[in-house]
Amino acid sequence: MPGMVTSPHPLASHAGAEVLRGGGNAAEAAVAMGAVLTVVMPHFCGLGGDAVWMLADRDGLETSILGIGQAPQVLPDLDGPLPMRGVGSMLTTACAVDSWDQALNVWDGGMDFADLIAPAIALARDGFTPSRSQDFWLDFRAADWPAWPGFAGRFDHRSSDGPLRQPELAEMLTLIARDGPRSFYDGQAAVRVAQGLADLGAAITSADLAATRSRRGDPVALDYRGLRLLAPPPPTQGITTLAIMGILARLDAGDPTHRIVEAVKQAFLDRHLIADPDMVPVDCAALLSPARLQAKAAAIRPDRAMDWPQPFRHGDTVFLSARDDQGRCASVLQSTFFDWGSGVVVGDTGIIWQNRGAGFSTVPGHPNCIAPDKRPFYTLNPGIAMKDGAPHLLYGTQGADGQPQTLAVILSALIDRGMMPADALSQPRCLLGRTFSDSGDSLKLEASHGSQMVAGLRDLGHQVAELPALSPIFGCAGVIRIDDGDVTGAHDPRGEGIAIGTHARP
H helix intervals, 59-216: 96-103, 113-126, 132-140, 152-155, 167-179, 183-186, 188-200, 206-210
The one-character DSSP state at 280 is S
C-beta atoms surrounding 335 within 10 Å: 26
d(CA 2, CA 350): 37
Give the angle subtended at the CA of 476 by the CAs of 473 and 482, to the nearest 5°: 150
Q: Which of 317, 336, 406, 502 is catalytic?
A: 317
81: Cα separation from own chain's centroid: 24
Contacts 24+ apart (CB under 8 A), 141-144: 141/339, 141/340, 141/343, 144/85, 144/343
Q: Does residue 54 sit in helix, strand or coil? A: strand
Distances (CA, A) of 33 to 73, 117, 217, 290: 32, 8, 23, 38
Q: Is 291 within 8 Å of 250 (Cβ atoms)?
A: no
Q: Is the dihedral of CA 330, 287, 439, 340 positive or negative?
A: negative
241 belongs to the catalytic site: no
C-beta atoms surrounding 485 within 10 Å: 7
Q: Is the peptide bond before 235 cis (omega within 30 degrees of 0)?
A: yes
Catalytically active residues, by annotation: 317
